[in-house]
């Protein structure tokens, strides 16, 4: 959600067009996913190793998803859909 909202925001700035509220929807979805992670980490008392793994995944996935979203957005949508199905 956050990555798509960022790219949507940049595209709206480049083209000087409104997005009809789509950015807000994507940011709400990103907030929802963040809260899922937060609750899960609190509920299972995540250890230091788990927190480091989450950080490493974020550090790796953010640039990778940004690059993939720039090159071929449907691939990222398919990947996120797969993650949602397995969760």
Instruction: Give the pLDDT mean for 8-13.
Output: 90
Closest CA to 77 of 19, 3, 24: 3
pLDDT of 20 reads: 86
Question: 18-28: per-residue pLDDT in tens?
Answer: 888 889 988 99
> What is the value of pTM for the model shown?
0.67
Helices (H), 1-87: 2-15, 22-43, 48-71, 73-86
DSSP 21: T
Q: Could you tell me if 57 and 46 are in contact, meaning their C-beta atoms sit under 8 angstroms apart?
A: no
- State the average pLDDT over residues 72-83: 87
């Amino acid at each position: 959600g956050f990555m798509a909202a960022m790219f949507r925001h940049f595209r709206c700035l480049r083209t000087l067009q409104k997005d009809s509220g789509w950015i807000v929807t994507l940011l709400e979805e990103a907030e929802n996913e963040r809260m899922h992670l937060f609750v899960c980490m609190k509920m299972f008392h995540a250890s230091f190793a788990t927190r480091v793994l989450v950080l490493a995944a974020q550090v790796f996935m953010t640039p990778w998803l940004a690059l993939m979203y720039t090159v071929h957005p449907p691939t990222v949508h398919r990947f996120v859909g797969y993650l949602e199905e397995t969760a």
